[in-house]
């Protein structure tokens, strides 16, 4: 029987769905325990974004990866808690760097309290993740440390921008590989590792996480331009307003600089707007409309599909079990999601 699982999937059988739902509930309980402090204020701040929601996409990858071994092995749920704690911690830090006011529909921690509280709360979450890792063994600590190094490197690369002569799009994709894919890859890897799956399975799921991580972020880039706020629950053009160089914008700039056939009065006006202040609502709305009509948006969609297809292809060596079909289904869910 086919049922609808997390993240809008409709490729699960009942047994797998029940197992994943139970696992996600256990992860949620683990997150609540991990964010509990003897100091009530720390508990409140640490649970601020946790209780605001989130897709729990990374824990889902851990739980699906564990299906290729023993899904109930003792390290599976704790490793899923680790990856989500790490992700949450980066959100606290990201909001400080981006001077964000809202996250997941609620005031960001830095807006509600102040920057120093947000930074220290992220550090608190990292420390709790490390505490759990210590019980999972030295290999898990090493894997997480390598992933975290890649994540921070990606963040630094984004902050400083591409070096002279480096293609901006190549730089951007390398940033995404660090900032987003590194933790997605670890999620698949932990699931297989902790379940005792074969090393070949660990390798496959690591590569899968790398590719779907980039697809996931590129889908966000497309959504930021193309989404309907009523459908997605997000304000369209948020990154555009804040001057964040997402893939569609980078394509516009590349093609304009190359003088390709896409060059037109509309494109010249769009680049002019992108070079200016988009805090003004009228300028922002005009830029959003022009960007939606520009072929750069469709190119970004094609790139998203390509990375999702690569993730799906990486699964081919795995045995044909429901979890493999669910992972393949995630590729479609990522590409076609609306929020």
Q: What's the pLDDT at 66? A: 98
Contact call for residues 270 and 284 (beta carbons, < 8 A): no
Classify residue 19 by its DSSP letter.
H
Question: What is the predicted pLDDT for the residue at 307?
Answer: 97
76 and 23 Cβ atoms separated by less than 8 Å: yes
Query: From the CB of residue 257, how many other CB atoms can be counted at a distance below 10 Å?
Result: 11
How high is the pLDDT of residue 232?
A: 43
> Looking at the DSSP assignment, which residues form a beta bridge with residue 102?
107
**Is a pLDDT exceeding 90 seen at residue 177?**
yes
Mean pLDDT of the chain: 87
Mean pLDDT across 296-310: 96
Does residue 125 have a pLDDT over 80?
yes
- pLDDT level of residue 2 (50, 70, 90 thresholds): very low
> 51-105 pLDDT, tens per residue?
776 789 999 999 999 999 999 999 999 999 999 999 988 887 776 666 555 555 5
Q: Could you give the 3-state DSSP secondary structure of residue 339?
A: coil
User: Structural domain boundaries of the chain?
Assistant: 14-197
Report whether pLDDT(291) > 90: yes
Q: Give the class (CATH, top level) of 14-197.
A: mainly alpha
Percent of the chain with pLDDT over 90: 60
pLDDT at 48 over 90: no
Distance CA 193, CA 199 (A): 8
**Spatial CA neighbour of 23 closest among 35, 37, 5:** 5
pLDDT at 277 over 90: no
Residue 301 has pLDDT above 80, yes or no: yes
* DSSP letter assigned to residue 3: B
φ/ψ of 228, rounded to 5, equals: -95, 125
What's the pLDDT at 91? Answer: 84
Query: Would the pLDDT of 326 be above 80?
Result: yes
Predicted local confidence at residue 30, as pLDDT: 95
Give me the DSSP letters along 162-218: PPTT--HHHHHHHHHIIIIIHHHHHHHHHHHHHHT--HHHHHHHHHHHHHHHHHHHH
Q: How many CA atoms lie within 13 A of 72 on its CB side?
A: 4
pLDDT of residue 13: 77
- Give the phi and the psi of residue 317 in degrees, each rounded to 5: -75, -10
pLDDT at 230: 43
């Amino acid at each position: 029987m086919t049922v609808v699982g997390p993240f809008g999937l409709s490729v699960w059988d009942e047994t797998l769905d029940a197992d994943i739902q139970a696992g996600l509930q256990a992860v949620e309980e683990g997150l609540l325990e991990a964010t509990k402090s003897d100091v009530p204020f720390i508990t409140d701040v640490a649970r601020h974004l946790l209780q605001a929601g989130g897709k729990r996409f990374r824990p889902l990858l851990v739980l699906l990866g564990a299906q290729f071994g023993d899904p109930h092995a003792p390290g599976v749920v704790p490793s899923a808690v680790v990856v989500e704690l790490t992700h949450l911690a980066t959100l606290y830090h990201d909001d400080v760097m981006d001077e964000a006011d809202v996250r997941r529909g609620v005031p960001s921690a830095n807006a509600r309290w102040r920057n120093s509280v947000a930074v220290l709360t992220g550090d608190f979450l990292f420390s709790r993740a490390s505490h759990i890792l210590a019980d999972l063994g030295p290999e898990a600590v090493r894997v997480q440390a390598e992933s975290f190094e890649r994540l921070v490197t990606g963040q630094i690369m984004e902050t400083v921008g591409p070096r002279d002569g480096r293609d901006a799009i190549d730089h951007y994709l390398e940033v995404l590989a660090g900032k987003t894919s590194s933790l997605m890859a670890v999620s698949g890897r932990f699931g297989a590792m902790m379940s005792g799956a074969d090393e070949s399975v660990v390798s496959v799921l690591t590569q899968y996480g790398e590719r779907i991580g980039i697809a996931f972020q590129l889908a966000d880039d497309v959504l930021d331009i193309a989404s309907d706020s009523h459908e997605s629950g997000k304000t369209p053009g948020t990154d555009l307003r804040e001057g964040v160089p997402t893939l569609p914008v980078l394509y516009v700039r590349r093609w304009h600089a190359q003088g390709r056939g896409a060059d037109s009065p509309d494109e010249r006006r769009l680049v002019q707007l992108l070079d200016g202040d988009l805090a003004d609502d009228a300028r922002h709305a005009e830029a959003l409309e022009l960007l939606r009509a520009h072929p750069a948006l469709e190119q970004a969609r094609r790139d998203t599909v390509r990375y999702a297809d690569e993730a799906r292809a990486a699964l081919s060596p795995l045995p044909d079990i429901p979890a493999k079909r669910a992972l393949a289904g995630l590729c479609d869910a990522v590409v076609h999601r609306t929020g």
